[in-house]
Amino acid sequence: MAVNSNQPRDSFGSKFGIIAAAAGSAVGLGNIWKFPYEAGVNGGGAFLFIYLIFVLLIGVSVMVAELTIGRAGQRNAIGSFKALAPGKPWFLVGMMGIAAAFMIFAFYGAVAGWTLEYIYQSIRNGFAGKSPEDLSQMFTEFTTNPARPIMWQTLFLIMTAGVVIAGVQKGIEKYSKILMPLLLLIILVLIVRSVTLPGAREGINFLFKPDFSKVTGHTIISALGQAFFSLSLGMGTIITYGSYIKKKENLLNTAVQVSLADTLIAVLAGLAIFPAVFAFGINPSEGPGLVFITLPNIFQQMPGGYVFSLMFFILLGIAALTSTISLLEVIVAYFSEELKMSRKRATLLAASGILFLGILCSLSQGPIAGFKIFGLNIWDFLDFTSTKIILPLGGLFIVIFVGFVLGRKRVTEELNNEGTLKARLLPVVMFLIRFVAPIAIALVFLNMIGILKIT
Ligand code: TRP
């Protein structure tokens, strides 16, 4: 048990704090960087439609399952499984999650560091007068540089650690309550700019008019993978945050609200980006370079671009920060509760491990690009192992655990707060958790690792 087991466990202090922290985890680079380009290459509105279905049917139910484990277990991702299934191997699911947190933070933190460089470049007006080729070269030169990305990545990690050391309520909740409204405000300002550009309409059509001719097996796989990643599912983030939610709160509502908020922000990010992309006659299916190459090109041509560029990269940085906080907290909660370390020591130790892997990720873009594991460079290897293997596998075990191992009575009590809530959705969610989610996740997982070939 925890070192300070004589003190009450730290928890979120308010309903808004819970939503801000959990949505803060969910809303991240996945929403603002990845969702728009995934939608861009997968048929716009058609992708959005399929994505929404996955969020509602599978995302929400996996989130409910994670919240249930965390709040019933009252411990970190590993400890909660140990508390609920003593002497059984279920805690290994939590172990996989801790490993995934290190891996995801390593490459995610590298991109988070890039946002700081781009904030810096926005301030010094570094995109001005550059052609698309120049901007593309600028991006490549920066990301393959052996030192500069590491400097930013380290700074980002220090900011994250600063918040996590301060604690659940005085750190994570406090900063989420400031940063999330700010994020929403910035995104709304950017949307107003984007949709008022001449020719913006086409971008709005692209995002909302579904073109189902672009839908393939690949679209479906990408949409589910994206839903998992974007909602921070499958590795114990939501278990950990769930353990900080007080017994009087409604978990089903929380899961629905957080999932919808995350989806809303992804759509809003699309609304901030696509109208501007179309207004400047650029092809929306630019892929990963959309945000770091295409957008600077647009900003330096648009009226007021200096301010909007700065705002956009600050937005990206904020989104990344509340997510890296949640990734670090998964590890810190485990270190401090199960390995009985102080919070400070746990944070420093976790951050050192992340920094080591993170530096390898950064270097794998340039100097050590030739170093391959199973044919992948370090970055791609960590990305593949965590997001394509551990997250779906973790999600699968989590729904099976809640659906079949924990017991219907226990789950019902946790979700209707010992009978004090109506929880009308409960039978539907239980059905999704037990049958729909496991089958869908299993199919997608088998396809991803190449056993089934839908694409
Ligand atoms: N959800 C975040 C995003 O969309 C990333 C993230 C944070 C995450 N914590 C996670 C992804 C846990 C998977 C698991 O950018």
Among the atoms of ligand 1, which is closest to the Cα of residue 100? 14
- Residue 83: how many CA atoms within 13 Å on its side-chain side? 19
Residue 232 beta carbon below 6 angstroms from any ligand 1 atom: yes
114 Cβ contact list (under 8 Å, min separation 6): 142, 143, 149, 152, 292
Query: Are 284 and 40 within 8 A, CB to CB?
Result: yes
For 405-434, b/e burial (b = at least 16 CB within 10 A) is: ebeeeebbebbbeeeebebebbeebbebbb
Q: Tell me the pLDDT tens digit for each residue of 230-241.
A: 999 999 999 999
pLDDT of residue 1: 40
Q: Which residue has its alpha carbon closest to ligand 1 atom 9?
A: 232
**What spacing in Å lies between the alpha carbon of 104 and ligand 1's midpoint?**
8
pTM for this structure? 0.94
SS3 for 454?
Answer: coil
Residue with tokens 């949640």: 326
For the chain, list residues with pLDDT below 50. 1-5
Task: Output the six-digit token pair for 60.
Answer: 């929400």
Residue 241 beta carbon below 6 angstroms from any ligand 1 atom: no
What is the distance between the alpha carbons of residues 73 and 401, in angstroms, rounded to a whole number?
13
What is the distance between the alpha carbons of residues 359 and 356, in angstroms, rounded to a whole number?
5
pLDDT of residue 287: 65
Instruction: Determine the residue of 240, 267, 327 to mutate for testing ligand 1's pocket, defined as the one with the most ligand atoms within 8 A of the Cβ atom.
Output: 327
Residue 230 beta carbon below 6 angstroms from any ligand 1 atom: yes
What is the distance between the alpha carbons of residues 141 and 366, in angstroms, rounded to a whole number?
9
pLDDT of residue 453: 63
Residue 323 beta carbon below 6 angstroms from any ligand 1 atom: yes
Residue 298 beta carbon below 6 angstroms from any ligand 1 atom: no
For 12-49, b/e burial (b = at least 16 CB within 10 A) is: bbebebbbbbbbbbbbbbbbbbbbbbbbbbbbbbbbbe
Residue with tokens 């671009």: 305
pLDDT of residue 2: 44
Beta strands in 345-393 (DSSP E): 372-373, 376-377
